[in-house]
Amino acid sequence: MSLTAGRTDWAAEAEDEDLATALPAPQITKNKDGSETIVTFVIRDDGQKVKQTRRIKKTVIREKVNPRVAERRQWAKFGAEAGRPLGPQTDTTSVGENIVFRPQAGFKPGGAEKENESAKTQKDALKNVSIKCRICSGDHFTTKCPFKDTMAPEGEPGTTPGDLGLEDAPAGGLGTSGSSYVPPHLRKGGAGTGERMGGKYERDDLATLRVTNVSEFAEENDLREMFERFGRVTRVFLAKDRETGRAKGFAFVSFLDRADAARACEKMDGYGFGHLILKVEFAKKST
């Protein structure tokens, strides 16, 4: 330690020099639009030198205040507040959440009451709807009609309530020519072809493959993964045993596009999956 007097530590010296050169005086320039640009340099805690450029516009707001009010603002605080600094104290005063308050004509309070109201209007609407039986036109549901076993719905041939009352036994008799029974598919003049099960979403069997000889440990997802590489798979159905939950050995895979299906059929037929060899063919249209 041979630090002689008059000679300072070289490290400190270098730092001093650095500080002197690194921190020029802040520059303030006046802009044309009345604002000021202040450029300052500071050294952050981590030693980084930072240039700060701030643009400030000063606006003088003059407000006329009631002199009595202004005087009262200067009053010294007293009581529990004596000696406290100027401005609101955080222990007593805080700012609440913003409240949207817009007066409006015909104000309706609360959501709950609104709901009640809508339920009420619904009820009112239902009040005016009359229930009418399709068999006897009475004010009950068709299924509750006392004549539902003996009469066909209104508007069908030979089944008005009047003529049923007159000749019920012979009309219903077995083997009688002109029986009142009409099979469902011939009703309404035979025009309707009857509804198909499954509704309007008819399956497109054209792009469906039937996969057989599937391992009984296979899962639908395995099949989906295998077939998805040929195109968009819309449906995978793997037949499973209801009791054991294992696959029965066959599955259907539907594609969005028939071309994909054809390609998949060609490639996957004879593919080894598990310990078995798959057999893939186009599904036959069910009749």
Partner 1 sequence: MRPILISGHERSLTQVKYNKDGDIIFSVSKDHVICAWFSANGERLGTYHGHQGALWSVDVDPTTTLLASGGADDTMRLWDVKTGKLLKTWEFHSSIKRVEFNEDGTRLLGVTEKRQGAVSSIVVYDITVDVDAKQPDEHSLRIVCQESKATVAGFSYLSKFIISGHEDGTVTQWSMKDGLEELGATVHENEPITDLQWSQDRTYFITSSKDKTAKLITAHDLEVLKTYPTDTPLNSACMTPKKDYVILGGGQAAADVTRTSARQGKFEARFFHKIFEEEIGRVRGHFGPLNYVAVHPHGTGYCSGGEDGYIRVHHFDKPYFDFTYEVEREQAAKI
Binding site for partner 1 (CB under 8 A): 66, 68-69, 72-73, 75, 77-82, 84, 86-89, 92-99, 101-107, 109
For 50-62, give the DSSP string. Answer: EEEEEEE------
* Measured distance CA(224)–CA(160) in Å, rounded: 57
- When the beta carbons of 79 and 162 are compared against partner 1, the nearer one is 79
- When the beta carbons of 47 and 96 are compared against partner 1, the nearer one is 96
CB of 81 to partner 1, least distance (A): 5
CB of 57 to partner 1, least distance (A): 25
> Which of 79, 81, 83 lies closest to 93 in space, CA to CA?
81
CB of 63 to partner 1, least distance (A): 12
- When the beta carbons of 95 and 125 are compared against partner 1, the nearer one is 95
* Measured distance CA(240)–CA(249) in Å, rounded: 8
* Measured distance CA(253)–CA(261) in Å, rounded: 9
Tokens of 188: 């309404």
Q: Which amino acid is at 49?
A: K
CB of 152 to partner 1, least distance (A): 55
- When the beta carbons of 95 and 166 are compared against partner 1, the nearer one is 95
Distances (CA, A) of 92 to 125, 137, 207: 54, 74, 75
Output Rg (C-alpha) for the chain, integer angstroms.
46
- When the beta carbons of 91 and 195 are compared against partner 1, the nearer one is 91
> Which of 242, 222, 235 lies closest to 261 in space, CA to CA?
235
CB of 56 to partner 1, least distance (A): 25
Tokens of 262: 């054809």
Residue corresponding to tokens 């320039």: 29
Distances (CA, A) of 267 to 118, 122, 160, 162, 277: 60, 60, 65, 70, 12
CB of 33 to partner 1, least distance (A): 29
Sheet of 36-43: strand order equals 27-30, 36-43, 49-56
Contact predicate 119/112, CB 8 Å: no
CB of 105 to partner 1, least distance (A): 6
- When the beta carbons of 98 and 130 are compared against partner 1, the nearer one is 98
CB of 75 to partner 1, least distance (A): 6
- When the beta carbons of 3 and 76 are compared against partner 1, the nearer one is 76
- When the beta carbons of 83 and 183 are compared against partner 1, the nearer one is 83
